[in-house]
Structure 1
Amino acid sequence: MKIKIYTALLILVSSASQAQTLLTENFDTFPVTWTKTNQSQPVGTSNWQQGNVSSFGGGFNGGATSYTAVNYNSVASGMSGTISNWLISPIVSLKDGDVIKFYTRAGANFSSTPDRLELRLSTVGSSTINPSTGSSDLGSFTYLAVSVNPLLAPNVYPVTWTEYTYTVGSLPDATDCKLAFRYFVTNGGPTGANGNAIWVDALTVNRVLSTDTFFKSNFSVFPNPTSNVLNITNNSDSAINNIQVTDINGRIVKEVKINTNQINISELNAGVYLLKISTDNGTGTTKIVKS
């Protein structure tokens, strides 16, 4: 019977999850910690830049210029060629299950001119080699995570802000990485048949955490087991909004809806319970024992 109780408890603890934000970039201003390199051939004067006020609206999160943009002038004036223009993030630690999300749209109210965007990863952190020898050079960014309009077809690139996501795989351990947006268009440029302009906004990288992992990262409780008062140490940067104690059947047997560092469980029967603490940053759950 005890084995069944503890098994049910573990299932309950591990079933819910939180998200830890590893990286956020809303491009409200152009990020000085990012690197841009235009490897287009023949190379033009244009590069990734802060968004401009236009009749096509502003960034995904609002703000007339709150996005980053790049266009066909990546290739030299009066020429056609291959656009390969890169915007590279600072180091972010990634592992399997992390979710990369961003929004993009064509920089106009039409998409008949073919455009393409790639999201690529370098998995060597500070040893990353940036592309430097022309349009075919990938540097260390050999891992293609997302390709928007991979076939470079007309009328495909979205004309409204559209979400794209990628769930990290093949990184079982936390690994220092860099992300790169690559504006990649063949037969592009001022006189090419392809390539107009694209915008990017609202990049986030999130890690899904089990509620027990969230708890261990933010709280500790003592003494455990206890016969009466359970003390709570809050190591997070957010106040406690709610504390619940539930039995193994999921029934709430004690609840405190204030910011406190103690909860008295003296009236509960001896046994195993779940303690759930909720904050603005997430909810954590751990096992407690009433003696």
Structure 2
Amino acid sequence: MKKILLLLLFPIIGFSQNQFAFGFDGTTAAMISAGWQVTNQSSPVYATAPTWSIADYTAPTATTPFGGLTPNGQAGGLNSFALINYTSTGTSSTAGSGTISNWLITPVVNVQNGDVVTFYTRIGKNTTTADPNASFADRLQLRMSTTGSTTTNPTGGSAGLGDFTTLLDDVNPNLNLTDYPTSWATGLRTVTISGLSGPTDVKFAFRYFVTSGGPAGNNSDIIGIDSFSVDRPVASAQSFFTNNFSIYPNPANNVLNLSVKNGLTVNEISVVDINGRTVKTINNSFDSEMEINVSDLTSGVYMLNVKTEEGVATSKFVKN
């Protein structure tokens, strides 16, 4: 019988590692407990003006924003998204106008150049083919602070940015009635991180930023966001291994040596046989070199999976 090396059992594909994700399910209190922060720096801002919150429509009607009878998020069920509206500024909830600057700030996230930030946003108005435009123009910024846990939040009114001086995305900066996404299906936003000196603790912030907003303003209505995620694209598991590790000797008899490059820390090693079964797991952390005892393995082809904080590296080796 002809022997066939079943390499298809070990597909080499590209993938990404999630660094942070939040789906805005649950309650506003749960969001705050998870480390999110809110601050309304609109000018003027009255005492009971809202901050960002999780939607809580209890009796949807045909005129309820975000889908009428079913105001669902981009993912999840009823009320599974965060929102903010025009009453962020003014002299009351029904009068006045001003500049809206209402912030929703993430917990600390560790990122590096090349990481991809995604989220969904839409206006709340239920547009139709006959009436496809927003009633009032809205705007949303995504900003970043590179000072991590020591970040200074915005203060001092609508012009204040705190440490959030890096603008990553600006949705409808010209305040047009046609340019803000009108559905979750069209509301995906994608940003790639760049300009950092290396891995960095950051915070992201959504800034609802509308001039001439408020109950008596020319702009601002209601917007939502959902499915915020930060992901790290990783090259194929094989190329990731080649760039960061080496193994020798290969074929191996009793010992396989794993050498680490580029200062990566290995968190776990597993050996998988040609049938896809994990036959050995090593949980010792190290960042230089390790001897792996393979004397107890039967002769054949194996895959070595090396788990790090940057992703999983994979390489084939032969046991004599």
TM-score of Structure 1 vs Structure 2, range by shorter chain? 0.7 to 0.9
Contact map agreement 1:230 1:264 (CA 8 A) in 2? no
> What does residue 275 of structure 1 align with?
303
* TM-score, normalisation: structure 2: 0.69
Q: Is the 8 A contact 1:227 1:265 kept in 2?
A: no
Pick aligned residue for 2:162 from 122, 136, 139: 139
> For structure 1, which runs of at least 5 residues remain unmatched after alignment?
1-14, 245-254, 269-273
Instruction: Give the 3 Å change call, closer, same or farther, for CA 214–89 of structure 1 in structure 2.
Output: farther
- Within 5 Å, which residues of 2 pair with 1:200-279? 200-210=225-235, 211=237, 225-227=251-253, 235=268, 243=272, 255-261=274-280, 266=299, 275=303
Question: How big is each residue's C-alpha offset from its partner over 1:4-29, in whole Å with a ceiling of 9 and x where there is no partner?
Answer: xxxxxxxxxxx853311111110112
Alpha-carbon separation, structure 2, partners of 1:21 and 1:202: 13
Residue of structure 1 equivalent to 2:197? 172
| Residue 137 (structure 2) pairs with residue 114 (structure 1) | yes
TM-score by length of 1: 0.76
Q: 1:247 maps to which residue?
A: none
SS at structure 2 position matched to 1:73? helix
Query: 1:175 corresponds to which letter in structure 2?
Result: T
Report the Cα distance in structure 2 between the residues aligned to 1:183 and 1:107, rounded to whole angstroms.
14
Q: Secondary structure at the match of 1:235?
A: strand
How many angstroms does 1:151 deviate by? 0.8
Shift in CA distance, 70/113, structure 1 to aligned 2, threshold 3 Å? same
**Pairwise CA distance, 1:223:** 8.1
Query: Aligned pair in 2 of structure 1 residues 257, 63: CA closer, same or farther (>3 Å)?
Result: same
Distance 1:26 1:136 in 2: 29
| 8 Å CA contact retained: 2:140, 2:172 | yes
Partners of 1:122 and 1:283 lie apart in 2 by 29
How many equivalent residue pairs? 254
Could you report, residue by residue, the CA deviation over 1:172-195 in whole angstroms, capped at 9, with x for unpaired residues?
Answer: 300111000000000000110100
Measure, in 2, the Cα distance between the counterparts of 1:231 and 1:26: 42
CA deviation vs aligned residue, 1:169-228 (integer Å, no higher than 9, x gap) = 001300111000000000000110100000000000011223258779xxx999865138
Q: 1:65 to 1:213 in 2, by over 3 A?
A: farther
Q: Distance in 2 between matches of 1:41 and 1:267?
A: 71
Map 1:1-291 to 2 at 5 A.
Answer: 16-29=13-26, 30=28, 31-32=31-32, 33-44=35-46, 45-53=49-57, 54=60, 55=64, 56=67, 57-76=71-90, 77=92, 78-110=95-127, 111-161=134-184, 162-210=187-235, 211=237, 225-227=251-253, 235=268, 243=272, 255-261=274-280, 266=299, 275=303, 284-286=313-315, 288=317
CA–CA distance in structure 2, aligned partners of residues 187 and 87 of structure 1: 20
Alignment RMSD: 3.4
Is the partner of 1:126 in helix, strand or coil?
Answer: helix
Gaps of 5+ in 2: 1-11, 128-133, 259-265, 281-293
Which residue identity lines up with residue 201 of structure 2 in the other structure?
D
2:315 maps to a residue whose letter is: T
Aligned equivalents of 1:234, 1:125: Cα separation in 2: 24
C-alpha displacement at 1:229, in angstroms? 9.3
Percent identity between the two aligned chains: 42
Deviation readout 1:225-270 (Å, 9 max, x if unpaired): 513898999938xxx8x957xxxxxxxxxx31334338957357xx
- Secondary structure of 2:138's aligned partner: coil
Instruction: State the 1:288 CA deviation.
Output: 3.1
Query: Distance between the aligned counterparts of 1:234 and 1:36, measured in 2?
Result: 36
SS in 1 for 2:279: coil
